Structure 1
Amino acid sequence: MLASLSHVRNWIFDLDNTLYPASANLFAMIDARIGEYVQRLLHCSPEEAHKVQKAYFHAHGATLYGLIEEHGTDPHDYLDYVHDVDMSVLEANEALVEALAHLPGRKLIFTNGDAPYAQKVLDRLGLGETFEAIHDIHATSYRPKPEPAAYQGLCDAYGLDPHASLFVEDMARNLGPAKAIGMTTVWIDNGSEQAPDADRSFIDYTITDLGAWLHSILES
């Protein structure tokens, strides 16, 4: 293990656009479904729905939280709808599967999606049995990343020492609260949508390929 990461005992991973490449466009399909849901809920044009969707996403970290706060949306109805997408675009990345299998310590998923969807994604990626747990949007009481309470809730739920934890994310701003409580942070800069805030001071490692990076630190 790379000496600078020898302290890591807990490996925490975002799901979408992190364990699979953004170029797979699975999340693009989800994004389109979110727009359709907002349009149907608010009886508005596609253009107005897109504005609302992105405003809630940037303000709250997830469109769902804004819809719950502003419109009393049923999270189960929303999640069932937006996650009804074709997962055949996903395929196993054998280099990533192998690297994750050799990581020493605990491995967890921390996602703004829900666990049933996450498990389907993991199964498609050949990672169905890799992770100890999926800490999802229900577990955060619908207060998503980057809400600081979501990170503390993750640590409390699984007895994680944040100073012995590493968090990998494609959404740069979601790494800020992780760094604030002592986690080592890894940003996958892969072209996925980012928030307007350009601050990157809280990022310890910037990578483009998770499997290749994990292999590199294991071989060091």
Structure 2
Amino acid sequence: MTRWTEPHGLRAVETWVFDLDNTLYAPGLGLWEQVSARITDYVMRALSISREAAEALRVEYFHAHGTTLAGLMARHGVAPDPFLDDVHAIDLSAVAQDHALRDAIDALPGRKVIYTNGSRAHGAGVAAALGLSGCFEAVYGVEDAGYVVKPQRAAFETVFGADGFDPLLGAMVEDCQRNLRVPSELGMATIWRPADAAEARQDHVHHVADDLAAFLTRIAA
């Protein structure tokens, strides 16, 4: 048992860092599916390849580089900002405000920020649609990490350094376990919101939050 897994240990957290996609909203909402489809379309146009080839590259680059954009930049010299503007132009009309999550985040001790591998504007837009804008002191996107992406250590160090918080007093909330490894190594508490119930928990994950609002509410209770 570590200090972060002890009963009430998370009450010592001073800075909460939340991922965005499939973390602040449930995967079933379909927003990430919209982004993924637009990424495939962008890869088709940028590289003049078939949809099947573009879809294969989208998945390959995500696993090899952390995001499809990182692979496109490294292997094809694709400019990041037009890509980010295009793939995040999604329909948010089906997004409902999440009052339970808002109340749970507001009740947490300490300050709260968003850090996404998407753009800063995407993070702010989705948070607003969820009714969570007032919960967060800052929203950090991939541009704030110099377009280096999670799970690379340099991405975390750049964003965390710019924010100025002490990782030893921080917590990271993510849907992707590989993005929790470096925060754990930096001394942060790690909280995983699984998108796939069949995925096994990894050793660097301190807590699993299937229902994020309920999990956070228990901390503040």
Give the structure-2-normalised TM-score.
0.93
Q: Secondary structure at the match of 1:6?
A: helix
Q: Which amino acid aligns with 2:62?
A: F
CA distance in 2, matches of 1:75, 1:211: 33
Give the structure-1-normalised TM-score.
0.93
Task: Give the structure 1 partner of residue 210 of structure 2.
Answer: 208
Task: Give the structure 2 partner of residue 102 of structure 1.
Answer: 107
Per-residue CA deviations over 1:35-86 (Å, capped at 9, x if unaligned) read 0111111111111111111111001111111111111111111011101110
Q: Which amino acid aligns with 1:217?
A: I
How many pairs does the alignment contain?
214
Contact kept? 1:9, 1:105, Cα under 8 Å: yes
Aligned counterpart for 1:157 among listed residues 156, 162, 170: 162
Per-residue CA deviations over 1:180-217 (Å, capped at 9, x if unaligned) read 1111000001339x8xxx67110000111110111112
Task: Give the structure 2 partner of residue 9 of structure 1.
Answer: 14
Please, which runs of 5 or more residues in structure 2 have no aligned partner?
1-6
Contact kept? 2:15, 2:112, Cα under 8 Å: yes
Contact kept? 1:119, 1:128, Cα under 8 Å: yes
Task: Give the structure 2 partner of residue 90 of structure 1.
Answer: 95
C-alpha spacing 1:117/1:126, structure 2 compared with 1 (3 Å): same
Q: Secondary structure at the match of 2:12?
A: coil
Q: Which amino acid aligns with 1:19?
A: L
Query: Could you tell me the percent identity over the aligned residues?
Result: 40
Aligned counterpart for 2:122 among listed residues 117, 123, 147: 117
Work out whether 1:54 is the aligned partner of 2:56: no
CA distance in 1, matches of 2:202, 2:94: 31
Contact kept? 1:14, 1:111, Cα under 8 Å: yes
Aligned counterpart for 1:28 among listed residues 20, 30, 33: 33
Aligned counterpart for 1:44 among listed residues 39, 44, 49: 49
For the aligned residue pairs, the C-alpha RMSD in angstroms reads 1.5
Q: Which amino acid aligns with 1:67?
A: L
Q: Which amino acid aligns with 1:141?
A: G
Structure 1 residue runs of 4 or more that deviate by more than 6 Å after TM superposition: none
Per-residue CA deviations over 1:111-170 (Å, capped at 9, x if unaligned) read 001111111111111111211111110011111000011111122111111110000000
Q: Secondary structure at the match of 1:167?
A: strand
